[in-house]
Amino acid sequence: MKPVVIITIAVACSIIGVFGISVVIDLINTSSEEAKLAQDIQDFCAWNYPTYVEYRNDCMKGNYLPSLFNQWVTAGKPTTKQSEIKSEPVILTETVPGGPENTGSLGSEHSHAAILVKIFGDTFDFSAPAYQIKSSWIHFEGRDGSTVHKHATGVTLGYLFETLSLGLDDQCFVFQDGRSFCTNDDYSLKFFINDEQISDIREYEIAEDDRILITYGAETPEEIQSQLSELNKQEILG
C-alpha cells in the first residue's frame, strides 16, 4: 500500500476517533444534565407539596409553572426536610374532615380562578405559608397567591376566607392580626367578578377562569380600571 494511502487512512481513523470520543462526551454531559434537572424537579415539587402526594407526583410529571420553577432556582433551590415530606396520599373523599356543609365530595369539581386583593393600593400576599392549603376543598397552593383552587361543588369564597382566618363581609376585610378595613365615609370595600361590580362575594362559587378583585380605599374609576387590568393579566394556574 502506498504511503499516501496509509497516511490518509490513518488521518481518517483519527478524525473518526476524535468525533466518536466527542459524541460520547456529549452523551455523558447530556445524561448528567438530564439527571440533574430530574433531581431539581423532584426537589422543587417536594418543596411546593411536602404533604400532598397527589399534587407532588403530578408536579414531577411536568405539571408545574416554569416561572415558579425559575423563581425556586433563583431563590437558591431551597429544599424540604425529609421528615416533613408525607409519603402516604391524602384520599380525596367526602369523609375527609373539616369540609363545609352542603357541598359535593372532594374531587366533584376542580375549578381555578384568579384573585387580587388591594388594600390602599397594596397587594395582599396569599403566597405566604399562613394562607397555603388550609382546606382540601378550596385553597391556594404551590406557594402561589394568585390562583384559587376549588375541589368540590358548592364551596363558596366565604368559606375560603374562613379557612384563611380572614374576616370578610360586605363591609369589612379583617386581617389575621385584627386590623380591619371597613367601608366608611372616606373609604369603601368593593368587589368585582369578571369586571362587574357586585355587593358581596361570600356566597359566590368560582367557575373556571373567573377573575375576582377585592379592593379597599378611595380609588378613582381610573385606578379601579388599572387594578382590573392587573388582575386580567394574571396567569391562572391549572
Q: How confident is the model at residue 165 (pLDDT cuts 50, 70, 90)?
A: very high
Question: Average pLDDT, stretch 114-130?
Answer: 96
- The helix or strand, by DSSP H or E, that contains position 77, with its residue range, turns out to be none
Q: For residue 8, what pLDDT band results from cuts at 50, 70 and 90?
A: low
Cα separation, 177 vs 164, in Å, equals 12
Q: CB neighbours (10 Å) of residue 13?
A: 10
3-state secondary structure of 96: coil
Cell numbers at 58, concatenated: 403530578
Backbone angles phi, psi at 211, to 5 degrees: -135, 125
Judged against a pLDDT cut of 60, whether residue 4 lies above it is answered with: no
Question: If pLDDT is split at 50, 70 and 90, which confidence band does 91 have?
Answer: very low
The architecture of the domain spanning 111-233 is Beta Complex (2.170)
State the span(s) of the chain assigned CATH 2.170.130.30.
Answer: 111-233
pLDDT of residue 26: 60
Cβ density class 61-98: b for 16+ within 10 Å, e for less: eeebbeebbeebeeeeeeeeeeeeeeeeeeebeeeeee
Check residue 33 and give its pLDDT: 80
Alpha-carbon distance of 181 to 171, in angstroms, equals 8
Tell me: pLDDT of 9 over 70: no
Exposed (0-12), middle (13-18) or buried (19+): which is 215, by Cβ within 10 Å? buried
- In this predicted structure, what is the pLDDT of residue 102? 83
Per-residue pLDDT averaged across 202-229, rounded? 97
Q: What is the pLDDT of residue 65?
A: 59
Q: Kindly report which listed range (13-17, 74-78, 128-132) carries the lowest average pLDDT score.
A: 13-17
What angle, 0 to 180 degrees and rounded to 10, lies between the N-to-C axes of helices 53-60 and 3-48?
160
